[in-house]
Chain A
Amino acid sequence: MPQLTRAFIKISFIYLLAALLLGLLLALRQLVSLPAFLTAAGPVYFHLFLVGWLTQLIFGTIYWLFPAANPPRPRAEKWLGWTALILLNAGLLLRVVAEPLATLRPGTFWGWLLVVSAVCQWLGGFAYVAVVWPRSRERTRKRRRRSQEAV
């Protein structure tokens, strides 16, 4: 399993744990009074699950499972893959902090941090698409075998 895959998968499970804990806290708000920061974290909860856990679990698995690009470009893939991981996680962590605070204090510095978070996640997503697009293809080995069979 490549190092990038392991990083994506391990990080994704940390997010799963964080999402479940946040979900538990959000459920407790019916029973106990929570800080306003936490009560404004509803969208963060969903994105920890869907971007932090599920999307990153898929990203990691794809990187491992899909055939190599043809022609091979291991350096570019590695660079783009790690860039995607760093940007996606930087963006998501910024969101975790900035979104509840920007909701509670609109028009402050936190709002601009949310813009930075959006740009980081967007670039991270596109970097990953750039890694995977050329790898979603038929395996060369099979194509060769087929063309040999045709002959």
Chain B
Amino acid sequence: MPPLSIWFVRTALLYLALGFTFGALMLSNKGVPYAPELWRLRSLHIEILMIGWFIQFAMGVAFWIFPRWWQEPRRGDERGAYLAYGLLNIGIWLVALPPLLGWAEPIVTTGRMVEVAAAIAFATHIWPRSVGREG
């Protein structure tokens, strides 16, 4: 597994742990209410698990497992994938934190744009690697 995939996967696992923690807090609070403000974690819970866990994990495994070239660099131009990792993790927090902290809505919009940029950056890397054995 290449270093970038290890970063993607381990970051995704941290988000999984965090997302499950927030989910467990909200679910237990739904059963036996003890802190009504926990419900504000909902946006964080969804963003962290949907983008931070599922999408990030898929990117990490795709970077590792998609076909490689016969010659170096075997994974082609990796800059798009590295850029995607950075942008995705900035975007997640720009989307997830404003509802929790009462920040302005344009920050969420900016976060979504950063996430779209991450998807485009990753696609530019992985697109040429989506090939059969015959190339």
Q: If the complex has contacts A125-B16, A125-B20, are A133 and B27 also in contact, measured as CB distance less than 8 A?
A: no
- A contacts with B, residue count (CB < 8 A): 32
Of B5-13, B85-93, B101-109, B114-122, the one with at least 4 CB within 8 A of chain A: B5-13
Tell me the smallest distance from the CB of B112 to a CB of chain A, in Å. 20
Within 8 A of A (CB), among B37-53: 49
A interface majority secondary structure: helix
Asked if B13 and A136 make an inter-chain contact with CB atoms under 8 angstroms apart, the answer reads yes
Query: Given the complex, which residues of A lie within 8 Å of B13, measured CB to CB?
Result: 129, 132-133, 136
Known: A113-B31, A114-B30. 12 other contacts (CB 8 A): A54-B54, A95-B27, A103-B30, A117-B31, A118-B31, A119-B24, A122-B21, A129-B13, A136-B1, A136-B6, A136-B9, A136-B10
18 A-B contact pairs sorted by A residue (CB < 8 Å): A58-B57, A66-B1, A98-B31, A102-B31, A103-B30, A111-B32, A112-B32, A114-B27, A114-B30, A119-B28, A121-B20, A121-B23, A121-B27, A133-B10, A136-B5, A136-B6, A138-B2, A138-B6
B residues with CB within 8 A of A? 1-3, 5-6, 9-10, 13, 16-17, 20-21, 23-25, 27-28, 30-32, 49, 54, 57, 61, 65
Query: What are the 10 tightest A-B residue pairs by CB atom distance, in nearest-first order?
Result: A114-B31, A125-B20, A122-B24, A111-B31, A118-B27, A118-B24, A118-B28, A136-B9, A115-B28, A115-B31
